[in-house]
Amino acid sequence: MTGLFDGVFSRGAAATDSQAWLRAMLDTEAALARALERAGLAPAGAGAAVTAAAAGTFDAGALGRQAALSGNPVPALAAALRKAVPPDAADTVHRGATSQDIIDTAAMLLARGAMDAMAADLAIAADSCAGLATAHRNTLMIGRTLLQQAVPVTFGLVAAGWLTGLDEARETVARVRARRLAVQFGGAAGTLASLGPEGLAVARLLAEELDLALPVLPWHTDRARIVEVAAACAVAAAALAKIARDVTLLAQSEVAEAREGGGGSGGERRGGSSAMPHKQNPVAAIAILGCTRRVPGLVATLATAAEQEHQRAAGAWHAEWEPFADLLRVTGSAASWAVELTGGLVVDPARMRANLDATHGLPLAERVAGLLAPALGRAAAHDLVARASAHAVAVGGTLRESLLGVPELAGWVDGAGITSAQIDAALDPAGYLGSAGAFTDAALAAHARRSLPMG
């Protein structure tokens, strides 16, 4: 069933809803039966029988209601699965396992699917950012710090920053997915006592069946793996939120340096307002921010729940289930939205240049002061340019007009032996980009070199 808000918060993400949890739990139970048979602890054919039964339909709602009797849905699921298999395979179902083994392993399966989808979307968005960085390597715009105009930059450098953030986020997601997703199998208290000397063999075979790592020992109350998945999601969310926030600011009507392209899947106009038909809201960027704003709270819940007592937590483990799934869902949704945002972003270089020119040369004051410093001294040069800047702001003129047109200021410039042509050169933003081009090239080269196998 599609929820009312799924179009925003469940877009393109691998499934992490109740049905996905149930399927992952059933896959775990089926894999356990096959592992038990391979270890010689279940009759021939039992693994196949349980696997076939597990592929059937089970009522997640009914299992959820029965969970109130035991505190989790696994006992009811195991009972239902036993009823669905032939009598000679019934004792194989859930043998040696505890409820936490099934739920934790299912969580790892959910994480694997979600992180695969997330990494794929991050890679596509990164490729789009690489395209933007290449196309706009020399596109001038005003840089902004503390939301105020600073010095000139290029949009290529901005896109290169987005690119690097996405590449590093994908690398983090890939590393955790490849190295930290492990099977959970410890039995009642982490000893596998009910399986006797075959416990470790069954654990190894279960890991093989599910293609998950085999941990050194059961991690029932060692929640580092859960926290590391959460942290990887947080890294991805940070990179995605950075892009989305920049786009919302660049798309403001008064700025208008970039806007989202595209529309709905049915060709309808995207971004319209129910009350203000003139608007084109940056829907993808807003949706990303709606998803990523939820991430820190979910991460905090999982980090807090990581403190778990003895061999099984009373409540902290239970507190993980929904936040873990929600975190995978909203981070994956943000990544999916980013594919559309970066792939359809429309950049307006002319508007960027107009906004830069509207600063009347004031962002180049630092460069002009550097030009005057050898003759006047650094402090005097700084004071002169500060006075010229203040005058330009006061009269609504340009820094050039103040430096060359106000007699008491122009006299200092002449005395320094600086010509109007030199002032003009110093006020050319294209000449004050420092290493912007080199940084952009470095980000593109690093992107080209990256090879991130997903496990």
| Catalytic residue IDs | 273, 312
- 8 A C-beta contact, residue 213 and residue 182: yes
All residues at 6 or more sequence positions from 119 whose CB lies less than 8 Å from its CB, including other chains: 170, 173, 174, 177, 452, 454
All residues at 6 or more sequence positions from 405 whose CB lies less than 8 Å from its CB, including other chains: 397
- 8 A C-beta contact, residue 219 and residue 287: no
Alpha-carbon dihedral sign for residues 63, 67, 72, 75:
negative
Instruction: Please give the Cα distance from 399 to 410 (Å, whole number).
Output: 12
- 8 A C-beta contact, residue 423 and residue 368: yes
Residue 377 — φ and ψ, nearest 5°? Answer: 90, 150
What is the number of residues in the chain? 455
Instruction: Please give the Cα distance from 351 to 376 (Å, whole number).
Output: 37
All residues at 6 or more sequence positions from 300 whose CB lies less than 8 Å from its CB, including other chains: none
Side-chain half-sphere CA neighbours of 182 within 13 A: 21
Instruction: Please give the Cα distance from 215 to 194 (Å, whole number).
Output: 19
Secondary structure letter of residue 151 according to DSSP: E
- 8 A C-beta contact, residue 341 and residue 284: yes
- 8 A C-beta contact, residue 133 and residue 156: yes
Tokens of 268: 């309808």
- 8 A C-beta contact, residue 84 and residue 52: no
- 8 A C-beta contact, residue 198 and residue 41: yes
Residue 335 — φ and ψ, nearest 5°? Answer: -65, -40
- 8 A C-beta contact, residue 246 and residue 158: yes
Instruction: Please give the Cα distance from 229 to 111 (Å, whole number).
Output: 8
